[in-house]
Amino acid sequence: MKKNFILSLLACFFIHTVCAQNDGASIIDGTTLDIEVSGTASSGENAPLWLSSNKYGIVSPCANSSYERVNFHRDMDNDSLRLWKRGYGVDIMLSQNAQSSFFIHQAYAEMEWKKLGILIGAKERGIDLRNDELTSGGLSHGINSAPIPMVLGEIDYFSIPGMHNWLKVKGRLGYGMTTDGRWIENWTADKNTQRYRSNILYHEKAIYFKIGREDKFPLTFDIGLQMMAQFGGTCYNLEGRGIEGTTTRHFKENLNAFWHAFWPMGSSDETDGAYQNAAGNTLGSYNMRLQWDTDNWGIGAYFERFFEDHSMLVVQYGIYDHLLGIEARLPKNNIASHLLIEHISTKDQSGAVYHDETANIPEQLAGRDNYYNHHIYSGWQHWGMAIGNPLLTSPIYNTPHKLHFYNNRLQAWHIGIDGDPCKEVHWVAKATFSRNWGTYAKPFDEIANDQHYMVSAQYSPAWAKDWSGTLAFAISHSEIIGNTTGAQLTVRKSIYPSFRKRRK
Q: What is the CATH number of the domain that holds 192?
A: 2.40.160.130
Residue 169's contacts (CB-CB under 8 Å, 6 or more residues apart) are 157, 158, 160, 207, 208, 209, 210
CA separation for the pair 46, 62 (Å, rounded): 5
pLDDT value at position 264? 83
Q: What is the pLDDT at residue 151?
A: 98
151-170: b (≥16 Cβ within 10 Å) or e = ebebeeeeeeeeeeeeebbb
Asked whether residue 503 is domain-assigned, the answer is: no
Q: How many domains does the chain have?
A: 1
> Is 148 within the bounds of a domain?
yes
Whether residue 500 is contained in a domain is answered as no
Residue 334 located in a structural domain: yes
Q: Are 449 and 479 in contact (CB under 8 A)?
A: yes
Q: State the first-to-last Cα distance of the chain, in angstroms, to the nearest integer.
A: 43
Task: Output DSSP code: residue 193.
Answer: T
State CA 239 to chain mean position distance: 31
Q: How far apart are CA 86 and CA 450, in angstroms?
A: 44
- Interatomic CA distance for residues 191 and 184, integer angstroms: 10
Q: Is residue 319 a part of any domain in this protein?
A: yes
Neighbours of 86 (CB within 10 A): 25
Q: Does some domain include residue 501? A: no
- Residue closest to 112 by CA, chosen among 177, 170, 34, 32: 170
- The model's pTM: 0.90
For residue 74, what pLDDT is reported?
Answer: 95
pLDDT at residue 267 in the model: 57
Give the span between the Cα atoms of 232 and 203, in whole angstroms: 11
Burial class of residue 51 in the structure, from the number of CB atoms within 10 Å of its CB (0-12 exposed, 13-18 middle, 19+ buried): buried
According to the model, what pLDDT value does residue 318 have?
A: 77
Asked if residue 504 belongs to a domain, the reply is: no
Contacts for 92-96 with beta carbons within 8 Å, 24 or more apart? 93/58, 93/67, 93/68, 93/69, 94/67, 94/68, 94/69, 95/58, 95/60, 95/65, 95/66, 95/67, 95/68, 96/65, 96/66, 96/67
Give the pLDDT of residue 241: 55
Asked if the peptide bond before residue 61 counts as cis, ω within 30 degrees of 0, the response is no
**What are the average pLDDT values for consecutive 10-residue runs of the chain, which has 504 residues?**
49 48 56 96 98 98 98 92 92 96 96 96 97 98 97 97 96 97 90 85 98 96 97 85 69 92 72 58 96 97 90 75 97 96 95 63 69 90 97 96 96 98 97 98 96 98 95 98 98 81 39
Q: Which amino acid, 109?
A: A
* Residue 35 is assigned to a structural domain of this protein: yes
Q: How many CB atoms lie within 10 A of CB 193?
A: 11
Given this model, what pLDDT does residue 192 score?
Answer: 80
- For residue 378, which of 158, 200, 165, 151 has the smallest C-alpha distance? 200
- Whether 402 and 433 have beta carbons less than 8 Å apart is answered as no
Q: From the centroid of its chain, how far is CA 476?
A: 22
Range of the domain at 274: 2-495
